[in-house]
Amino acid sequence: MCGIVGYIGQRTAVDFLLEGLRRLEYRGYDSAGLVTLDENGRMDVVKATGRIDALAEKLEETPLRGSVGIGHTRWATHGPPTVENAHPHLGGENVLAIVHNGVVENYQSLKDQLIDHGYHFRSATDSEVIAHLIDFHLQQLGEQGDATGDQRYVTAVEESLSQLRGTYGLVVLFRDRPQIMIAARLGSPLVVGIGSGEHFVASDGSPLAGYTDKIVYLADHQVALIRADSLKVTHRDEGHVKHRVEKLQIHASNLDLEDYPHYMLKEIFEQPNSLRDTMRGRLCEDNATAVFGGLNLTAQQLRQVNRILLTACGTSWHAGLVGEYVIEEMSRVPVEVEYASELRYRNPPVDHKTILFAITQSGETADTLAALREMKRKGHPTLAICNVVGSTIAQEADGGIYLHAGPEVGVASTKAYTSQLLVLTMLALYFGRLRHLSYEAGRRIIRALQELPDRVAESLNCNDEVRRIASKYCHENNFLYLGRQYNFPTALEGALKLKEISYIHAEGYPAAEMKHGPIALVDEHTPSVFIMPRDFVYDKVMANLEEIKARGGPVIAIVGEGDTRVAELADDVIYVPNVEPFLQPFVTIVPLQLLSYHVAVMRGCDVDKPRNLAKSVTVE
Ligand code: F6R
């Protein structure tokens, strides 16, 4: 939600800002804007509602030349998506500009005080108070005269931040100080890219790819004073801190659409490779187990764990449900899966042998972060299963496992989901091998995992058939998704994929639950998607399928290759490779991802940027 970019150097800032904002589009937004500053202190602001293209059109009319600038994509919270509410916001007599991500909880009282001091507000946002507050402190410091040079600007920002309650990723420019840019973060991510005689700022690393591979992840309570040729970071409590320069792991080619019409389709087709990347170096055939570098707990400590709590939101929560099945089966350690939004406010009885895994693609989801912090506060080891390197959750967890799935740009999670499943399956193997799982069983699981990317590649062969099926059903407005055991979470995930990008109402259920209520929905316009590869509940699911057919409901079935029984009853059948039950979620989700993709395209939906949704949900 919301994206920030900033530039200071020798280039024409607007070129980087506009491209950077496009690369952050996936985070979700409904208006955008930018400001540039030239060496003479000329400050130009351009804002637009809607897509970045609208902003780009305005910029064609008003080309901006400054070599310092900041830009923002806004996902409306306080005030509707209008030009006035779009960022940047100007402070005082237009002497400074800010872009802000996050929420200022005490904005109303600050606003009242600033109005009393004579400030005029132009927007309905909480963010504008930050702009005027910084101006207020600048004036005060000017009068006192005890802070001079750049320090006066840094102090004005720091004093303003100390008055804020809430979260911020913030970048500030000053009209009379075009040689500096100040960035600060608390609870909302911000990175600084280091170039040669230039610096970049962004909400995550993707805008930096192709510009620099040197990245600094700002931590909470840090303030960065950025000049074209220097970066100085201070921490609220520690004073000046030495910043760690890391290597950016995103390449510009990762963000290229290649020949695909949408990122979502590209990312679905990337899954064989993203799974290989997730698995790389993590399977040890000699010991028949998995290895993880960053758990930061000894095997001894992990052997004592008697309960695993998985917490997440949305698709990542569905991955957690699959994790529950596979971890309990392979390791016999009891697993609970909790929505992070519930866990954060609950006080479940948890003993000291429980560990928490927060599962999150973005590493920024507000509820997941809060649940992790709450468990950490209570003294439990917290670990993250996360895709975005350097994200807040990755930084705050005691340890964790990166997905290495590569950047996921489409708002609907696809390849990150299958990589989450893979990490959880490798964890199951690891915990199993710390306990009762035999060497031979471990080797068998490893062999199956090594073949998995090829099986997923084979399941992509159904694409043409799925497109045909999508054209048959794309006008229906209700779908049911049904599966049992390992395929029940897949039913939930298939339904979520369809509803989020095609806006069709869809429900996922364990197939046997149908007769306890949902079967009342079945009619000739409510297709049921059965996920039923051959396993020990196959015959039971077949009985559920018959119940739907008996009531006139159309059936689309996902079955294993070579299955002949289901085709006799179902209206449409999609075949996937036969794999062991614990690997079924990897191959059965592929046709469901494709189905939702094709249906959404046929309905004319904006697949990669569905309405109302954000890739990174940083508000509660
Ligand atoms: C759906 C989707 C969301 C996310 C959820 C959690 O396709 O992407 O449901 O899974 O918002 O996000 P992360 O995994 O970033 O914590």
Please provide the DSSP assignment of 535-546 as one string.
STTHHHHHHHHH
Three-state secondary-structure class, residue 527: coil
In the chain, the amino acid numbered 601 is V
The residue written with tokens 């409904």 in the block is 30
264, 339, 360, 361: which to mutate for ligand 1, most atoms within 8 A of CB? 361
Q: Which of 202, 178, 181 is nearest to 191 (CA)?
A: 202
Residues carrying an active site annotation: 2, 615
For residue 390, count other CB atoms closer than 10 A to its CB. Answer: 22
Our answer on whether the CB atom of 316 is closer than 6 Å to any ligand 1 atom is yes
How many A from CA of 361 to the centre of ligand 1? 7
Write down the H helix ranges in 360-481: 366-377, 392-396, 415-434, 439-459, 463-473
Confirm or reject: Cβ of 340 under 6 Å from ligand 1. Answer: no
* Atom 11 of ligand 1: nearest residue by CA position: 314
- Residues of the chain under the 70 pLDDT cut: 145-147
CA of 412 to the centre of ligand 1 (A): 8
CB of 500 within 6 A of ligand 1: the answer is: yes
Concatenating the DSSP letter of every residue in 203-270 gives: SSSGGGTTT-SEEEE--TTEEEEEETTEEEEEETTTEEEPPPPEE----GGGG--TT-SSHHHHHHHT
- The residues, any chain, with a CB within 8 Å of residue 51's CB and separated by 6 or more, are 25, 32
A 10 A CB-CB count for 309 gives 22
Angle at 37 between CA 31 and CA 39, to 5 degrees: 170
Residue 422 to residue 491: CA distance in whole angstroms: 18
Angle in degrees, CA 376, 380, 386, rounded to 5: 65
User: Would you state the pLDDT for residue 114?
Assistant: 97
Rounded (5°) CA angle 387-391-397: 90
Question: Helix 584-602 and helix 439-459: axis angle, to 10°?
Answer: 20
Domains and their CATH numbers in the chain: 3-254 (3.60.20.10), 257-437 (3.40.50.10490), 457-606 (3.40.50.10490)
Q: Give Cβ neighbours of residue 342 (< 8 Å, ≥ 6 apart).
A: none
Under DSSP, is residue 195 helix (H, G, I), strand (E, B) or coil?
A: coil
Cβ of 313 below 6 Å from ligand 1 = yes
* Distance in angstroms (rounded) separating the CA atoms of residues 28 and 615: 6
Helix (H, G, I), strand (E, B) or coil at 618: coil
Residue 393 Cβ inside 6 Å of ligand 1? The answer reads no
Q: What are phi and psi of 562, to 5 degrees?
A: 90, -10
Residue 414 Cβ inside 6 Å of ligand 1? The answer reads no
Task: Establish whether residue 360 lines the binding site of ligand 1, counting it when its CB lies within 6 angstroms of any ligand atom.
Answer: yes
Joined tokens for residue 177: 């100080």
In order of 7, 65, 75, 568, the CA distances from 17 in angstroms are 7, 12, 18, 57
The rounded Å distance from CA 312 to ligand 1 centre is 8
User: For ligand 1, what atom is nearest to the CA of residue 313?
Assistant: 6
- pLDDT for residue 41: 86
Residue bearing the CA closest to ligand 1, atom 9: 314
Nearest ligand 1 atom to the CA of 318 is 10
CA of 619 to the centre of ligand 1 (A): 13
Please give the number of the atom of ligand 1 that sits closest to the Cα of 312.
16
Distance (Å, whole) CA 480 – CA 483: 10
SS (H, E, C) 18-66: HHHHHHCHHHCCCEEEEEEECCCCCEEEEEEECCHHHHHHHHHHCCCCC
pLDDT score recorded for residue 146? 64
CA–CA dist 530, 540 (Å, integer): 12
Helix axes 271-279, 415-434, angle to 10 degrees: 30
According to the model, what pLDDT value does residue 142 have?
A: 82
From the CA of 78, how far away is ligand 1's center (Å)?
23
What sign results for the dihedral spanned by CA atoms 78, 82, 84, 90? positive
